[in-house]
Amino acid sequence: MAPGLYFRHPSSVEHDTGAHPENKARIPAIENELDRRGWLGWERREAPEVANAQLERIHPPEHIERIRATSAAGGGWFDADTLASAGSWTAALHAAGGACAVVDAVMGEERAPTAFAGLRPPGHHCEETRPMGFCLFNNVAVAAQHALDAYSAERVVVFDWDVHHGNGTNDIFHSRRDVLYISIHQSPLYPGSGPLRDAGSGDAEGYTVNLPVPPGAGEPIWLSLVEHVVAPIMRAYEPGLILVSAGFDAHRADPLAQCSLSTESFAKMARHVSATARRLGVPFGSVLEGGYDLDALAASVAATLEAFSEDDPQAESVERDDLTERVSAALKPYWAL
- 3-state DSSP assignment of residue 6: strand
Nearest one of 330, 248, 234 to 294, comparing CA atoms:
248
The HSE-up count of residue 4 (CA atoms within 13 Å, CB side) is: 26
R_g of the chain, CA atoms, integer Å: 18
Nearest one of 83, 65, 186, 212 to 135, comparing CA atoms:
83
Peptide bond into 220 cis (omega under 30): no
50: burial class by Cβ within 10 Å (0-12, 13-18, 19+)? buried
Pairing relationship of beta strands 75-77 and 83-85 according to DSSP bridges: antiparallel
The HSE-up count of residue 49 (CA atoms within 13 Å, CB side) is: 9
First to last CA, the chain: 37
Active-site residue, selected from the candidate residues 59, 94, 125, 165: 125
Q: Which residues partner with 186 through β-bridges?
A: 213
Is 251 a residue of the active site? no
Nearest one of 138, 125, 132 to 59, comparing CA atoms:
138
Provide the residue count of the chain: 337
The catalytic site residues sit at: 125
